[in-house]
Structure 1
Amino acid sequence: MTPSTEDLLAIARLYWGADQAYIFRQEPSPEDLRYEALWDEKNKEGPRWGALLRELRKELPDCKVCDYTPPLANPSFGALVYPPYERIMSRPQFIWTVAGYLSILAPVYTVHCVRHQYVGKRCLDSKVFLGPIPLELRSIAEVVAQRIEAEYGATALPLEVAQTPVPLYVNFMKPPETTLFHALFTSEPWNIP
Structure 2
Amino acid sequence: MTPSAEELLAIARLYWGADQAYAFRQEPSPEDLRYEALWEKKNAERPRWGSFVKALREALPSCDAWDYAPGLANPSFCVLVYPHQEQDMMRPQTSWTVAGYLSILAPLYTVHCVRRVFLGKHFMESKVFLGPIPMELQDIADTLARHIEAEYGATVLPLDVAQTPVPLYVNAMKPPETTLFHALFTSEPGNIF
- Which TM-score applies when normalising by structure 2? 0.98
Identity of aligned residues (%): 74
Residue 59 of structure 2: aligned partner: 59
Give the counterpart letter for 2:93 in structure 1.
Q
Which structure 1 residue ranges, 4+ long, deviate > 6 Å from structure 2? none
Residue 113 of structure 1: aligned partner: 113
Residue 126 of structure 1: aligned partner: 126
Residue 33 of structure 1: aligned partner: 33
Give the counterpart letter for 1:140 in structure 2.
I
Find the residue that maps to 2:14 and give its secondary structure: helix
Q: Is 1:76 matched with 2:76?
A: yes
The Cα of 1:122 is off from its aligned counterpart by: 2.0
CA deviation vs aligned residue, 1:38-58 (integer Å, no higher than 9, x gap): 000000000110111011001
Q: What is the alpha-carbon distance in structure 1 between the residues aligned to residue 93 and residue 37 of structure 2?
A: 42
Count residues in correspondence: 193
The Cα of 1:69 is off from its aligned counterpart by: 1.4
Give the counterpart letter for 2:151 in structure 1.
E
The Cα of 1:129 is off from its aligned counterpart by: 0.3
Residue 138 of structure 2: aligned partner: 138
Find the residue that maps to 1:9 and give its secondary structure: helix
Residue 101 of structure 2: aligned partner: 101
Find the residue that maps to 2:97 and give its secondary structure: strand
Q: What is the alpha-carbon distance in structure 1 between the residues aligned to residue 154 and residue 179 of structure 2?
A: 20
Q: What is the alpha-carbon distance in structure 1 between the residues aligned to residue 103 and residue 23 of structure 2?
A: 24
Find the residue that maps to 1:19 and give its secondary structure: coil
Q: What is the alpha-carbon distance in structure 2 between the residues aligned to residue 122 and residue 34 of structure 1?
A: 41
Residue 90 of structure 2: aligned partner: 90
Q: What is the alpha-carbon distance in structure 2 between the residues aligned to residue 45 and residue 85 of structure 1?
A: 32
CA deviation vs aligned residue, 1:91-126 (integer Å, no higher than 9, x gap): 212111100000000000000100011111122211
Residue 48 of structure 1: aligned partner: 48
- Which TM-score applies when normalising by structure 1? 0.98
Give the counterpart letter for 2:50 in structure 1.
G
CA deviation vs aligned residue, 1:73-92 (integer Å, no higher than 9, x gap): 10000000000112221221
Q: Is 1:167 matched with 2:167?
A: yes
Q: What is the alpha-carbon distance in structure 1 between the residues aligned to residue 48 and residue 147 of structure 2?
A: 12
Residue segments in structure 2 that go unaligned for 5+ positions in a row: none
Give the counterpart letter for 2:179 in structure 1.
T
Q: What is the alpha-carbon distance in structure 2 between the residues aligned to residue 136 and residue 105 of structure 1?
A: 31
The Cα of 1:192 is off from its aligned counterpart by: 0.2
How is 1:146-165 mapped onto 2 (pairs within 5 angstroms)? 146-165=146-165
Q: What is the alpha-carbon distance in structure 2 between the residues aligned to residue 103 and residue 167 of structure 1?
A: 19
Q: What is the alpha-carbon distance in structure 1 between the residues aligned to residue 165 and residue 10 of structure 2?
A: 13
Residue segments in structure 1 that go unaligned for 5+ positions in a row: none
